């Protein structure tokens, strides 16, 4: 997800402020030139090994293409790994983000992902649940490499092949490959314990609010947690439709959430800040997602 400027193999929310969200802003797609690009997981595209990521069937008229890879056709379970250093996420922050993950499934917002299909043309279900939280007490220090982030996940002995394991770093921790400068979060996958484990990195926007939050008042009063809510939504919907970075993306390597990164549609003021959706017991400002129908468009529901 990248947002730089107002955007492992990995897909990311790029700055601008954006990650697997998009490679918008000043950061250019890697290897841009002739031919189509494939996603990296960090919000920008790269040339596929043959120099041309050929789209498969499905979705061609909607601006995003199916490339034949697996999707999360049985639904997904969200696993939070709170990476707590000397400036930890507060209990309120955790409550804000727990409520988000617990109420995405079944929502009109997550229903957008039912416009995507598996290899047999079967629509993905509107099915996401949340597992119990776990905590890592800063086991790899405050500056994490991509390899160390994978090690944080592996240390939990992950066994859920339908899970999405998200490492949420505290305000004083960072990811050395580009948090706050090239992305706000990302998702990828790896073989861990003999299973294909989907996981991602979610940075705390309180570390760099000008890069990883949209600048409006936070609807739950927390710059870090409210900003992270949109990053989490972004990475979950991308991991859901493109878990191994070879399923749904466009000709420039942008995944579904990338195509709508840092766009929010109609908003409202809840008395504390600016929001655009109510989930569970709380209001959130989370980015739109790409509807793979009717020519393709960004929306908050389907």
pLDDT for 220-231, tens place per residue?
999 999 999 999
**Domain interval for residue 291:** 2-299
Question: Which parts of 215-261 are beta strand (E)?
Answer: 248-249
Element (H, E) at 278: strand 277-279
For 192-212, what is the mean pLDDT?
Answer: 97
Backbone angles phi, psi at 198, to 5 degrees: -90, 135
For 20-44, what is the mean pLDDT?
Answer: 51
pLDDT at 11: 63
Q: Which has the minimum average pLDDT: 50-54, 97-101, 294-298?
A: 50-54
Alpha carbon 263 to chain centroid distance? 14
User: What proportion of the chain, given as a percentage, has pLDDT over 70?
Assistant: 83
**Secondary structure of 129-186 as H, E, C letters:** EECCCEEECCCCCCEECHHHHHHHHHCCCCCCCCEEEEEEECCCCEECCCECCCEEEE
- 41 pLDDT band, cuts 50/70/90, is confident
SS3 44: coil
For 241-269, what is the mean pLDDT?
Answer: 96
pTM over 0.85: yes
pLDDT at 233: 98
- 40 pLDDT band, cuts 50/70/90, is confident
Mean of all residue pLDDT scores within the chain: 88
Assess whether pLDDT exceeds 60 at residue 186.
Answer: yes
pLDDT at 262: 96
For 150-154, what is the mean pLDDT?
Answer: 98
Which pairs from 59-62 meet CB under 8 Å and 24+ separation?
A: 59/116, 59/248, 59/292, 59/296, 61/295, 61/296, 62/291, 62/292, 62/293, 62/294, 62/295, 62/296
Distance (Å) of CA 263 to CA 101, 121, 242, 249 = 20, 29, 21, 18
Q: What is the pLDDT of residues 79-97, one digit of tens each?
A: 999 999 999 999 999 999 9
Cα angle, residue 222 at apex, residues 220 and 227 outer, rounded to 5°: 95
Q: Which has the minimum average pLDDT: 18-22, 80-84, 168-172, 235-239?
A: 18-22
Alpha carbon 3 to chain centroid distance? 12
For 164-175, what is the mean pLDDT?
Answer: 98
User: What proportion of the chain, given as a percentage, has pLDDT over 90?
Assistant: 80
- 187 pLDDT band, cuts 50/70/90, is very high
Domain count, the chain: 1
């Amino acid at each position: 997800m990248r947002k730089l400027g107002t955007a492992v193999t990995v897909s990311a929310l790029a700055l601008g402020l954006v990650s697997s969200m998009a490679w918008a802003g000043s950061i250019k797609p890697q290897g841009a030139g002739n031919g189509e690009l494939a996603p990296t997981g960090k919000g920008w595209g790269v040339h596929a090994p043959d120099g041309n990521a050929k789209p498969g069937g499905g979705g061609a008229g909607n601006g995003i293409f199916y490339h034949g890879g697996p999707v999360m056709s049985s639904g997904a379970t969200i696993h939070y790994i709170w990476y707590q250093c000397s400036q930890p996420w507060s209990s309120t922050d955790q409550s804000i983000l727990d409520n988000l993950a617990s109420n995405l499934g079944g929502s009109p917002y997550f229903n957008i992902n039912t416009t995507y299909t598996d290899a047999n043309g079967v629509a993905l279900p509107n099915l996401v649940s949340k597992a119990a939280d776990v905590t890592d007490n800063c086991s790899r220090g405050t500056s994490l490499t991509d390899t160390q982030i994978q090690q944080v996940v592996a240390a939990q002995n992950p066994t859920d092949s339908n899970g999405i394991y998200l490492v949420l770093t505290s305000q004083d921790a960072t990811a050395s490959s580009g948090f706050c400068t090239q992305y706000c979060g990302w998702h990828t996958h790896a073989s861990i314990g003999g299973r294909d484990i989907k996981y991602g990195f979610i940075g705390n926007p309180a570390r760099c609010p000008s890069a990883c939050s949209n600048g409006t008042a936070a609807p739950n009063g927390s710059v870090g947690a409210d900003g992270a809510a949109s990053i989490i939504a972004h990475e979950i919907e991308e991991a859901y439709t493109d878990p191994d970075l070879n399923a749904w993306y466009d000709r420039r390597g942008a995944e579904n959430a990338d195509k709508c990164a840092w766009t929010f549609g109609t908003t409202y003021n809840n008395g504390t800040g600016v929001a655009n959706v109510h989930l569970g017991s709380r209001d959130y400002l989370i980015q739109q997602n790409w509807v793979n129908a009717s020519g393709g468009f960004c929306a908050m529901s389907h």
